[in-house]
Amino acid sequence: MSKSMAAAPVALITGGTRGIGLGIARALSGEGYRLALNGLRPVGAVRDILGELGGQEKDLIYCRGDIGCAADRKDIIEAVMRVYGDLHLLVNNAGVAPKMRLDILETSEESFERVIKTNLQGAFFLSQAAANLMIRNCREGNPEGRSIINISSISATVASAHRGEYCIAKAGLSMTTQLFATRLGEYDIPVYEVRPGIIKTDMTAGVAEKYGRLIAEGLCVQSRWGLPEDVGSAVAALARGDFPYSTGQVIMVDGGLTLRRL
C-alpha cells in the first residue's frame, strides 16, 4: 500500500473481481486504497484475485452479494462499515448483459427487469446508501476524498436495437450520475460517470469476432480493443481528485468510437 493503513481510503467496487471491475480494483490498489470487492461468485472462485490484491481484512474484503437485491445491498454496506468503519469511494461497476440479444420487438419483461434491477436499480440505491454515509462523515468533520463513480457505457447514447434493456439501463445510470452530483454538491462530494466503449472482457467474449472485425475496419479512432486497465486508469484519476471541478461529467474511454467523423 502506498499510504499508511490508518489513513488509507476505502473503496467499494461492485463487480470488482473480473473484467472492468478488476481493472479498476488493480488501479485503486495501486493508489493505496483499501478495497471492498463485490461479486456473485463464491469466495473460493475468487481466491486468487483476493490473494493478488491483498487477501487480508486489513486492506481487502470480499462482499459477496447481488446488488439487485435490497437485503444484499444492506449486507454489503454493513460489511464495509464493520471492517473499515468508513467509505470514501463507491464505484458502481457491476452489470449484466441480456442473456439473449433480442430485437426490442421481442424483448421479454423478465429480461428487462433483470437488467434494470442490476444495472440501474442496484446502482441507484447503493449510491443512496453510500451518499448518506458520506454526508454523515462530512457533518462529523471528515469530508476529504469522497466521491461516487458510475461505470456506464457508450450504450447510454448509442442505440442497439438488439439489447434495448441494456441501453435503457445505462442511459438511466447516466441520469443517476447527474442527480447525485446535483444533490451532493453542497457537501463537495463529486459524482462522475465513466463511459467505456468496446472493452475486452468476458462480457464481450461472445461477440469478439464481430467487434474485432469492426475495429479493424475503423470503428474506433484508436484501432484497438479497450482494456480493463484503460477504464481503471480513468477511475484512478477521478479518485485522486485530478478533476475537482468537474462533478456530474462524463469521461469517455472509447478510443474515439463516438467521435463524429466524415
Q: Give the active site residues.
A: 166
Which residue intervals of the chain are DSSP H helices? Answer: 19-30, 47-53, 70-83, 109-116, 123-139, 164-184, 208-216, 228-240
What's the rounded Cα separation, in Å, for the pair 171 and 157? Answer: 7
Q: Which three cell numbers stand for residue 234?
A: 480513468
151 dihedral zone (left: phi>0; alpha: psi -120 to 50; beta): beta
Q: Which three cell numbers stand for residue 239?
A: 479518485
What's the rounded Cα separation, in Å, for the pair 48 and 63? Answer: 15
Q: Which three cell numbers stand for residue 29?
A: 490498489
What's the rounded Cα separation, in Å, for the pair 19 and 26? Answer: 11
What's the rounded Cα separation, in Å, for the pair 12 and 16? Answer: 8
CB 163 within 8 A of CB 101: yes
The DSSP-derived string for 73-129 is HHHHHHHHHHHTS---EEEE------SS---TTT--HHHHHHHHIIIIIIHHHHHHH
Q: Which three cell numbers stand for residue 254?
A: 472509447
